[in-house]
Amino acid sequence: MALKDIKTKIGATKRMNTVTRAMEAVSAVKMRKTQAMAFAGRPYARAALAVLTRLSGSGNALRHPLTAVREVKKLGLVVLTSDKGLAGALNSGIIKRAAEAVAPYKVEDVTIYEYGKKGEEYFARRGYTVAKAVENKRDDVPLSVMEELTRELSEGFLAGTYDEVFVVYSNFKSTFEQLPTGRTLLPLSRERVSELVADVRPAKGKWSEELELKAPSSYEVESGGDILSVLIPRLVAVSLYHMLLESKASEHSARMVAMKSASDKSKEVARDLTRLYNKIRQAAITREVSEIVGGREALST
C-alpha cells in the first residue's frame, strides 16, 4: 500500500470513530431513559396482575371471550423490532424467534402486525400478510397507541381471524443481555400474565421479591359484573405496552454496546495503520539516506 493511501485510510477510520462514539453517547442517554421507563412500568403490571390473580382465584372465574382457548389453526403475530439497524444481533435474534413461531403454520394462515421496520421488511419479502405496520420511531409511546393495537388484535381474535396472538419482542435483562422472547398475548390467562411479570421482575432490588397473592373467597362486584370486560382489555394493552418498553430498552442498550465495540475496533485499526504508516515512512527514509550515502561514496573514490 502506498504511503498516501494509508494516510487516507487513517483519516477515514478516525472519522468513523467520531461517528460511532457520538452514536454510542446518544444511545447511552436513550438507554437510560428507556430503562427508567421500563422500570417505572413494573409497579402497575404487578398491581394489575395482583387484581387479576385475586379475581380469578375467587369464586368469580375468569370468563371472558378474550380468555377463550381454541385450537390454533391461524396465528396472529406481533413482532416488535427496531426501525434502524446498527444494533448488533438484536433484530436478527427477534426475527429468528418470530420465524420459528410461524414455521408450523402455512403462510396464508398467519397475520402479522409489525411494530418497527426491520421485521416488516423481513415478513413482507416472504409473502406474509402484514395487517398493519407501525414505525417504531418515538421513545415515549403513549399507552393509547397500544390500546388501539389491542383493540384491533381483540377484534381479530374475537372474529376468528386468528385463534392465538403471539408476540415476539426483546426482553431486557441487562445492558449486555437482551433475550428474544415470544409470549402468547391472547387468549389471556393468569399463567401468561405471571410469566410476563416474572420477565419484568429484576434480579434484585425493590421489585424483585416474589408476589404473594391470596384470593378472597368471593367478591362483591359492582356495575353488573362487567368488570372483566374493562380489566382484561386493559391488561392486554398493558402487557403489550410492557413488551414495547422492554424492546425499547433492549434496542438502545444493544446499539450502545454495538457502537462501543465499533469505536474500540476503529481505534485499534487506526493505531495499527499508524504503526504501519510510520514503519513504511521510516523504511523509505532509511533507503533514501543509504542511497545518498552510497552515491557520495561512489563519487569520492
Calpha distance 45→144 (Å, rounded): 16
Q: Interface with another protein includes 238 (CB under 8 A)?
A: yes
- Phi then psi for residue 40, to 5 deg, are -65, -25
Q: Using an 8 Å Cβ cutoff, are 137 and 70 in contact?
A: no
Q: Interface with another protein includes 218 (CB under 8 A)?
A: yes
Q: Interface with another protein includes 210 (CB under 8 A)?
A: no
Q: Interface with another protein includes 47 (CB under 8 A)?
A: yes
Return the H-helix or E-strand segment holding 237.
Answer: helix 227-300
Residue type at position 41: G
Q: Interface with another protein includes 294 (CB under 8 A)?
A: no
How many CA atoms are closer than 13 Å to the CA of 251, on its beta-carbon side? 27
Question: What's the min distance (Å) between Cβ of 219 and another protein?
Answer: 5
Q: Interface with another protein includes 37 (CB under 8 A)?
A: yes
Question: What's the min distance (Å) between Cβ of 241 and another protein?
Answer: 7
Q: By CB under 8 A, what part of segment 111-150 binds another protein?
A: 143
In the shown chain, the binding pattern of residues 156 to 195 toward another protein, with x for contact by CB under 8 A and - for none, equals ----------------------------------------
**Location of C-alpha cell 389471556:** 188
Total residues contacting another protein (rule CB under 8 A)? 31
| Cα angle 50-48-143, degrees, rounded to a multiple of 5 | 165
Q: Interface with another protein includes 297 (CB under 8 A)?
A: no
Calpha distance 219→53 (Å, rounded): 13
Q: Which residues contact 44 (CB under 8 A, 6 or more apart)?
A: 238
| Cα angle 16-20-26, degrees, rounded to a multiple of 5 | 145
Among the listed residues 51, 62, 99, 269, the single contact to another protein using CB under 8 A: 51
- Phi then psi for residue 44, to 5 deg, are -65, -45
Q: Interface with another protein includes 16 (CB under 8 A)?
A: no
Residue placing its CB nearer to another protein in the complex, 16 or 51: 51
Q: Using an 8 Å Cβ cutoff, are 240 and 146 in contact?
A: yes
Question: What's the min distance (Å) between Cβ of 100 and another protein?
Answer: 31
Kindly indicate which of the ranges 3-11, 97-105, 151-159, 225-233 contains the residues binding another protein, using the contact rule CB under 8 A. Answer: 225-233
Question: What's the min distance (Å) between Cβ of 43 and another protein?
Answer: 4
Question: What's the min distance (Å) between Cβ of 152 and another protein?
Answer: 19
Among the listed residues 54, 84, 132, 192, the single contact to another protein using CB under 8 A: 54
Among the listed residues 19, 29, 40, 69, the single contact to another protein using CB under 8 A: 40
Among the listed residues 19, 68, 221, 289, the single contact to another protein using CB under 8 A: 221
Q: Interface with another protein includes 220 (CB under 8 A)?
A: yes
Residues 288-297: contacts with CB under 8 Å, at least 24 apart: none
Q: Which residues contact 20 (CB under 8 A, 6 or more apart)?
A: 259, 262, 263, 266
Calpha distance 183→300 (Å, rounded): 88
Positions in the binding site for another protein (CB under 8 A): 37, 40-41, 43-44, 46-48, 50-51, 54-55, 58, 143, 214-223, 226-227, 230-231, 234, 238, 241
